[in-house]
Homo-oligomer: A and B are copies of this chain.
Amino acid sequence: MERRRRVERLIAVTRYLVEHPCQLISLSTFGEELGAAKSSLSEDIGLIKRMLDREGEGWVETVPGAAGGVRYLPELTGAGARTLVASLAQELSHPARFLPGGFLYLTDILFTPVIMEGVGRIFAGRFRLFEPEWVVTVETKGIPVALFTARALGVPAVIIRHESRVTEGPAVSINYLSGSTRRIQTMSLPRRALPSGARVVVVDDFMRAGGTARGMHELMAEFGAHVLGTGVLMATREPENKLVPDYFSLLVLEEVKETGPELKVRPAAWLEGG
């Protein structure tokens, strides 16, 4: 029986940690739930930590002290990240995806949770150490990138709208030049959406010149927020100098103009390194 109860505990704790990413659970909570002593639980969690840390898809953090506990931090790094991005590059290089004006049909990929969960974990692996409190994007196609990055970081997302909603109280609006629509657009965020001094990361699905990303940086400055990093699922290779100084993308869209309207999607160079 003792042995059976230990295996049951291991399953229950593993399931709870993985299903509640980033939530700190105290050992006493687990202990009450499972009827186990702290010493047994500590041993269980040591084993779970060794198993979960091993696979490069996340890790278990134990926080000491009275307010401490254990939490699972999902990420996707190394070979797992390279495999996902390589398969996306292959899928997105299909000629049927190439749209007029040098665009790519990304929408189905963006709204497939099983893919975007992996993308969110890659971003979480890059951003977690900066301790962001919010993930910011602009509607509409940036939303899945933001939501799944926020899920893996254990924080909320904040969505900038194109129009200000009268129903959501005072808002800050700025104008920016969008590369994808090639016109001046407005982005707007209600004051109540972010407190002053918030630590944020900015994400989006696609970057050409970086006008939208720069607009988000400017809007964040209006809120007194600290932008800790910028990530996009895909960036074009040209222009090489974007309007935001630092960003990283998972995919690069090459435009091979010499041989006609030919596009090609490659994994970003930093992923090759390791």
Spell out A's residues near B (CB within 8 Å).
Answer: 3, 6-8, 10-12, 14-15, 18-20, 23, 47-48, 51-52, 55, 57, 74, 99-101, 103, 105, 107-108, 111-114, 116-117, 139-140, 143-144, 146-148, 150-151, 154, 156-159, 161, 166-169, 190, 192-193
In the complex the two chains form, is A156's CB within 8 Å of B11's CB? no
For the A-B complex with A23-B114, A113-B147 known, give 14 more contacts whose Cβ atoms are closer than 8 Å.
A11-B14, A19-B74, A100-B167, A101-B167, A107-B159, A111-B156, A111-B157, A112-B150, A113-B150, A113-B156, A114-B151, A140-B159, A143-B143, A143-B147
Given contacts A103-B167, A156-B112, A159-B140, contact A151 B117 (CB under 8 A): yes
Nearest B residue to A116, CB-CB: B147
- Complex CA gap A3/B15 in Å reads 20
Nearest B residue to A47, CB-CB: B7
Across the A-B interface, give the 10 residue pairs with the lowest CB-CB distance, nearest first: A113-B151, A111-B157, A112-B156, A11-B51, A14-B14, A18-B18, A99-B167, A139-B140, A103-B167, A11-B14
For this chain, the copies found in one complex come to: 2
Contacts of A15 on B, CB cut-off 8 Å?
14, 18, 51-52
In the complex the two chains form, is A150's CB within 8 Å of B99's CB? no
Min CB gap A200→B, angstroms: 13
- Complex CA gap A111/B159 in Å reads 8
Nearest B residue to A48, CB-CB: B11
In the complex the two chains form, is A193's CB within 8 Å of B107's CB? yes
Given contacts A99-B167, A150-B113, contact A108 B161 (CB under 8 A): no
